[in-house]
């Protein structure tokens, strides 16, 4: 199974368009210690010919350009895409806006929970996905789902979805619905992905906390992509670039006693990769102390075009 990181940054990308925080400024200077990243997405394939995209980033067009195997090749028909399907783990802008790039009557399968399919269905801009060509297939929690190509042949890749702590997408928050803004289980899911060779990995780009059951699930796994949004829960507030904590945004932080580094140190994971990294996170900088700490604890920081073979 082949995995490509199309985009390693959180919503807004790195550097975020309106962010003038030193981290973002360094990325604009194009220094080698601050490598820009597009918004959160990975692509998975059994054969490097047919691909499934996990989350459709607003930067999808650039991501295709950066990963030519995701574009038609000279031998393909006049209209063709190697993208057989798109799987959504939530309805965040950074995970859904890229669907709009996939318009114009091209066949692909769109997989998401009924909750996410429903909000996409209600938003008429997504009508650009012609239902004659785009099959919407509901993901049912805890059920194994085989990913098929556009001719309905099994790709060799299957997913097992499960709900993780989190919240409804920012653009769907309803303050009248209390503390968690009306969030339900199907708003934030993670995926256990299995390839034709039976190798498995976990894809968890958003997660608000790590309960005991999740630790048990991830123990002894080969590869985990995990929510790396913030280094510190209050880093945006402390640095005067925002008013929200990570907890408020539905993201656990990397550092601290309750952070993902410390908690996931309790279990054994062969390869740990942070993904969905915010423009303010100092671990983005290759020479930062925070990067060193993450590395010492066995973590890699995902970057665009990173490739992993399982």
Query: Which residues of this protein are in contact with Mn ion, per CB under 5 A?
Result: 11, 92, 94
Nearer to Mn ion among residue 50 and residue 95 (C-beta) = 95
Question: Could you say which of ligand MLT, Mn ion, none residue 15 binds, taking C-beta under 5 to 8 angstroms by partner kind?
Answer: none
Query: CA triplet 301, 223, 213: central angle to 5 degrees?
Result: 105
Nearest distance, CB of residue 288 and ligand MLT, angstroms:
22
Nearest distance, CB of residue 246 and ligand MLT, angstroms:
9
Could you tell me which of 67, 66, 106, 69 has the C-alpha nearest to residue 86?
106
Nearer to Mn ion among residue 39 and residue 232 (C-beta) = 39
Question: Could you say which of Mn ion, ligand MLT, none residue 58 binds, taking C-beta under 5 to 8 angstroms by partner kind?
Answer: none
Q: Are 166 and 181 in contact (CB under 8 A)?
A: no
Two tokens at 286? Answer: 């290759």
- Match 């880093």 to its residue by tokens: 235
Q: Are 52 and 65 in contact (CB under 8 A)?
A: no
The rounded distance, in Å, linking the Cα atoms of 192 and 44 is 12
Question: Could you say which of Mn ion, ligand MLT, none residue 59 binds, taking C-beta under 5 to 8 angstroms by partner kind?
Answer: none
The rounded distance, in Å, linking the Cα atoms of 32 and 81 is 33
Q: Are 145 and 151 in contact (CB under 8 A)?
A: no
Nearer to ligand MLT among residue 65 and residue 171 (C-beta) = 171
Nearest distance, CB of residue 260 and ligand MLT, angstroms:
15
Nearer to ligand MLT among residue 37 and residue 107 (C-beta) = 37
CB-based closest residue to ligand MLT? 11
Question: Could you say which of Mn ion, ligand MLT, none residue 170 binds, taking C-beta under 5 to 8 angstroms by partner kind?
Answer: ligand MLT
Mention every residue, 6+ apart, whose C-beta is less than 8 A from residue 269: 218, 219, 220, 221, 222, 223, 224, 298
Nearer to ligand MLT among residue 194 and residue 278 (C-beta) = 278
Nearest distance, CB of residue 170 and ligand MLT, angstroms:
4
Residue 2, beta-bridge partner list? 45, 309
Question: Could you say which of ligand MLT, Mn ion, none residue 35 binds, taking C-beta under 5 to 8 angstroms by partner kind?
Answer: none
The rounded distance, in Å, linking the Cα atoms of 10 and 275 is 8
Nearest distance, CB of residue 276 and ligand MLT, angstroms:
7
- Match 């394939």 to its residue by tokens: 45
Q: Which residues bind ligand MLT (CB under 6 A)?
A: 10-11, 92-94, 170, 206, 249-250
By the 10 Å C-beta count (0-12 exposed, 13-18 middle, 19+ buried), 27 is classed as buried
Question: Could you say which of Mn ion, ligand MLT, none residue 195 binds, taking C-beta under 5 to 8 angstroms by partner kind?
Answer: none
Q: Are 192 and 159 in contact (CB under 8 A)?
A: yes
Nearer to ligand MLT among residue 249 and residue 252 (C-beta) = 249
Nearest distance, CB of residue 172 and Mn ion, angstroms:
13
Question: Could you say which of Mn ion, ligand MLT, none residue 301 binds, taking C-beta under 5 to 8 angstroms by partner kind?
Answer: none
Nearest distance, CB of residue 297 and ligand MLT, angstroms:
23
Question: Could you say which of Mn ion, ligand MLT, none residue 228 binds, taking C-beta under 5 to 8 angstroms by partner kind?
Answer: none
Two tokens at 210? Answer: 């790590």
**How many other β-carbons are positioned within 10 Å of the β-carbon of residue 105?**
11
Nearer to ligand MLT among residue 84 and residue 230 (C-beta) = 230
């Amino acid at each position: 199974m082949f995995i490509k990181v199309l985009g390693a940054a959180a919503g807004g990308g790195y550097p975020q368009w309106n962010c003038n925080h030193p981290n973002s400024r360094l990325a604009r200077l194009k220094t080698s210690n601050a490598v820009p990243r597009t918004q959160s997405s990975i692509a998975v394939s059994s054969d490097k010919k047919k691909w499934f995209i996990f989350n459709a980033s607003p930067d999808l067009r650039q991501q295709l350009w950066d990963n030519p195997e995701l574009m038609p090749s000279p031998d393909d028909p006049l209209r063709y895409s190697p993208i057989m399907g798109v799987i959504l783990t939530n309805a965040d802008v950074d995970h859904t806006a890229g669907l709009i790039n996939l318009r114009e009557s091209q066949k692909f399968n769109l997989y998401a929970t009924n909750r996410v399919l429903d909000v996409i269905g209600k938003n008429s801009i997504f009508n650009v996905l012609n239902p004659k060509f785009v099959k919407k297939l509901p993901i049912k929690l805890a059920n194994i789902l085989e990913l098929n190509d556009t001719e309905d042949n099994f790709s060799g890749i299957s997913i097992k979805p499960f709900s993780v702590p989190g919240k409804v997408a920012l653009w769907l928050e309803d303050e009248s619905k209390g503390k968690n803004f009306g969030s339900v289980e199907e708003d934030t899911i993670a995926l256990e992905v299995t390839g034709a060779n039976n190798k498995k990995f976990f894809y968890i780009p958003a997660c608000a906390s790590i309960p005991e059951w999740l630790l048990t699930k991830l123990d002894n796994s080969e590869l985990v992509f995990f929510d790396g949004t913030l280094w510190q829960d209050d880093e945006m507030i402390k640095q005067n670039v925002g008013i929200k904590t990570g907890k408020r945004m539905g993201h656990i932080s990397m550092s601290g006693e309750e952070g993902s580094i410390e908690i996931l140190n309790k279990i054994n994971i062969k390869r740990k990769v942070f993904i969905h990294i915010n423009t303010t996170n100092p671990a983005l900088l290759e020479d930062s102390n925070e990067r060193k700490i993450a590395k010492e604890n066995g973590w890699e920081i995902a970057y665009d075009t990173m490739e992993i073979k399982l």
